[in-house]
Structure 1
Amino acid sequence: MGHGTRLTIDHLKSFKNLMHLQEVPDEIMCRAFPTTLKGPARVWFSKLDPNTISTFKEFSEHFVTHFIGGQRYKRSSASLLNIKQRENESLRSYMTRFNKEALLIDEADDKVLVTVFTNGL
């Protein structure tokens, strides 16, 4: 587990401990936690489909799986060059496919992502 991953998981544990001490309801935890995220964790959260997670436990599991379980699948930005908008594919569908792959990129640069996305149109 890398240093950044360890810090991210520690951040989740600290947040949960603080919220449980104050007996904060699950719904508030789900709304408050994203405001504490920075860097790759904030990027990960911003790419989640809205209304797909209903409990903080479920959110925590997704979070941990992404930052621990998904680490060995990281790729370079170059892998996105293979993603092209298919003939008769809607822009929404292309964006969804592109974003799913972009989540697998290790430390993706926003400018590179925009350029590669545009080239794939």
Structure 2
Amino acid sequence: MPQVKSYDGSKDILDHLESFKTLMHLQGVPDTIMCRAFPTTLKGPAKIWFSRLTLNSISAFKELSAQFASHFIGGQRYKKSTACLLNIKQREDETLRSYITCFNKEALSIDEADDKILVAAFTNGLQKAKFLFSL
């Protein structure tokens, strides 16, 4: 069974919450148990924040996750647009394989990427002469 990595307050909070909820729902865990299990996924400042909550002040996981998200919203990742892919260029000494790996890594971090824009950005960043020579 997959495990949720510990959250310390510095990464994407929504990603952590979704990973936790998905794992709990997959196992059919009730809401009250989710509230009790959630602190086991926390460390550092996040664990300290949780320990300072008033006892019995949370009645549902939805309420817990809302308070948690509002407190740690600064760690939320910003959404990238496909325009950032236009900045990726194949370096003079970079192999085609390395450029493809780098481009794909960035492309996967974009939530709503259109295939036509991906292809245009990819070809725009290629060293044209090196690409034709490698074919």
Distance in 1 between the 2:31 and 2:70 partners?
A: 20
Distance in 2 between the 1:11 and 1:5 partners?
A: 8
More helix by share: 1
Identity %: 65
Structure 1 alignment gaps of length 5 or more: 72-121
**TM superposition shift of 1:5:** 4.0
Distance in 1 between the 2:65 and 2:33 partners?
A: 14
Query: What TM-score does the superposition give when structure 2 sets the normalisation length?
Result: 0.45
Equivalent of residue 4 in structure 1, options 6, 10, 24: 10
Distance in 2 between the 1:56 and 1:22 partners?
A: 16
Equivalent of residue 30 in structure 2, options 25, 31, 41: 25
Structure 2 alignment gaps of length 5 or more: 1-8, 75-135
After TM superposition, list the pairs within 5 Å mapping 1:39-78 onto structure 2. 39-68=44-73, 71=74
Distance in 2 between the 1:31 and 1:10 partners?
A: 19
The structure whose Rg is larger is 2
Q: Residue by residue, what CA displacement relative to the aligned partner does 1:11-66 show, whole Å, maximum 9, x if unpaired?
A: 22111110011111001101101111111110100111111000000000000011
Distance in 2 between the 1:36 and 1:18 partners?
A: 12
Counterpart of 1:4 in 2: which secondary structure? Answer: coil
Query: What TM-score does the superposition give when structure 1 sets the normalisation length?
Result: 0.50
Alignment coverage as a number of residue pairs: 66
